Amino acid sequence: MHIILKGVATPEDAILAYESGCQGIVLSNHGGRQLDTSRSGLENLIDIVAALKTKGPWPNPNFAVFVDGGVRRASDVLKAIALGASAVGVGRGFLYAFSSYGQEGVERAIEILRVSKLARARALVCIGVLITWTTG
């Protein structure tokens, strides 16, 4: 059985989960309900991935890092993946969409995220191609 530990917010906890044999972690502050000033999973990602890199090659196919918190836009998804996340949870926007507009709202939110993500990904690829082209 795979064990994924949720609620990890510090590099020390991430290392402890890794060394304890977990197959992954979920970076989350549980919606910030405990402390409204706590950092989101997305904000903690850089420090946690840096700590995990000290334990061996990264990304590690035997250990996943999921981000659940701080993700509001498709660009946040791309940033998280680029910074080392294995996957990203995007829940709040869909909760709001469902609460306001039901199934149609959720379908529209999915479309917005998909189109926005694709547009940003295309822009990033074009920037990379442009840099390569201009620097030779």
As annotated, the active-site residues are 30
Find out whether 108 and 71 touch, Cβ atoms under 8 Å: no
């910074």: which residue's tokens? 83
Q: Estimate the crossing angle of helix 74-82 against helix 92-135, to 10 degrees.
A: 60
């918190």: which residue's tokens? 69
